[in-house]
Structure 1
Amino acid sequence: MLEPRPLVAMIHAVPSGAHIAQQAFAREFPEARVWNVLDDRLLDDARSAGGLTASLRRRMLRLIGHVMDGGAQGLLLTCSSYGEVVETARTLWKVPVLKSDEAMFKAALAGPYRRIAVVASTPPAVPAAVAQLQALVSAVRPDRPVNIVTALNEEAAAADGAEDTARHLAAALYAAGGGDTDMVLLAQYSLTPARDALAELLGVPVLDGAGAAARELRDLLAVPAPERAEVVAP
């Protein structure tokens, strides 16, 4: 039987991602007791090694084992680079384990949206997000095609505030021919603060990975949630 306030662990590779994920859980799943684990060498070591090595996979699994031994009832890996370790973790532990953006992609594909845009401010985030999105199509909506549009604006990474970030992303999306998209997905947690401003500019729903993950874990852990205002629709 789950406790009234289930223990949800999050493993982070960068402090900024940890902060954004904590805000998302406070907003979407305040009933959870959140346990944050940070290893701020994960990304640098993966880059130095040229990708995920067997040693790095074992290291992430040790971190996962640490929170599982500590009683975690759900887990979110906020670092997308280590998403492939999730499949192994799911065979070892029988609690929900989510990749950073998995819930966002599933929510987008489960909806009525036919043309979905992926926006980012760093080049590696675009192909990674598109690959994950495409990999889920056959499982979530095999009978309905989806048109994926991508937009990259590196200036958004250094923008002055959420509204400026949103303007950069919107400009990139229009330049990429994505002005008629039905939904926009933020490919990085760091773009989450611009979500609402971007939704207002574009007039379509905008989803962020951390918020979608918090909602999915809330549902998976069967915690009754009070009525909340919808935050992704303009």
Structure 2
Amino acid sequence: MSQRIVLIHATPLAVAPINDTFKLLWPEVEVSNLLDGALSVDRAKEATLTPRLYQRIDALVDYALSIDAAAVLFTCSAFGAAIEASAQGKTLPVLKPNEAMFEDALGKGRNIVMLATFGPAVKGMEEEFRELAAARQVDATLTSYVVPGARDALNAGNAHLHNQLIVEAAMQHQHADAILLAHFSMEIAYPQVSSAVSCAVLSSPQSAVNKLKRVMN
């Protein structure tokens, strides 16, 4: 029987990129999608994760358990600490969106650049990276840049402009050992970015799917 992976989304922008990545890299696994579009809206209103947001994340994980999830993958990068808290005590893998990409990045070198399009997610992601690097005793630094206008373009349905802005930003930082595309919604820019720069480019959907395959097989 196929194992069920439940994807939990806080924005519809992440749904297609991660589902397409599963179809490409692990087509035989069963994938189910849960979307709470209000999560990203409410997160953008808060400077930090609130107790209520912690509760909502935990409730989504509990629901995934109730529908027989074998693993849970969150696709929005603005809830890292809440996902960690919910994962404690759970018997199944509960993955933060970027943990696998950060693990991969530590193997690429010391100078890591992360491009983001959703500002409220950046601080928490930087903290996650520093904690992981310290835990693994790797001397690596993460420098983040928010790409102005890219998220607005994607929200307006202009994927071409979204991708163009990300490519232009990436070309300014190809001196890095690796460039990270911070959000699942940025996966659509991956082919163009990886073709435009000389350094390694990592995307969170690809790293996450590959990690789940290793963990669950």
- Structure 1 counterpart of 2:50: 53
TM-score by length of 2: 0.87
Taking the TM superposition and a 5 Å limit, the aligned residue runs for 1:94-105 are 94-105=91-102
- Cα distance in 2 for residues equivalent to 1:169 and 1:47: 23
- Structure 2 counterpart of 1:77: 74
TM-score by length of 1: 0.81
Percent sequence identity is 27
- Cα distance in 2 for residues equivalent to 1:206 and 1:93: 32
- Structure 2 counterpart of 1:232: none
- Code of the residue aligned with 1:145 in structure 2: it is D
- Code of the residue aligned with 2:8 in structure 1: it is I
Ranges in structure 2 where 5+ consecutive residues have no aligned partner: none
Ranges in structure 1 where 5+ consecutive residues have no aligned partner: 223-234
- Cα distance in 2 for residues equivalent to 1:90 and 1:160: 33
- Cα distance in 2 for residues equivalent to 1:221 and 1:107: 18
Answer whether contact 1:122 1:154 (CA < 8 A) is retained. no
Which digits, 9 at most, give the CA deviation of each residue in 1:99-130, with x for residues without a partner?
01111001111x14222111123433443332
- Cα distance in 2 for residues equivalent to 1:39 and 1:6: 23
Cα distance change on mapping 1:156 and 1:86 into 2, 3 Å: closer
| Aligned length in residues | 211
Taking the TM superposition and a 5 Å limit, the aligned residue runs for 1:60-139 are 60-109=57-106, 111-139=107-135
- Structure 2 counterpart of 1:230: none
- Cα distance in 2 for residues equivalent to 1:217 and 1:31: 13
Taking the TM superposition and a 5 Å limit, the aligned residue runs for 1:14-33 are 14-33=11-30
Q: CA RMSD in A?
A: 2.1
| Greater C-alpha radius of gyration | 1
| 1:151 equivalent in alignment to 2:148 | no
- Structure 1 counterpart of 2:204: 209
| 1:200 equivalent in alignment to 2:190 | no
Answer whether contact 2:113 2:180 (CA < 8 A) is retained. yes
- Cα distance in 2 for residues equivalent to 1:212 and 1:78: 12
Which digits, 9 at most, give the CA deviation of each residue in 1:42-82, with x for residues without a partner?
12233445543323322221221111121100101112222
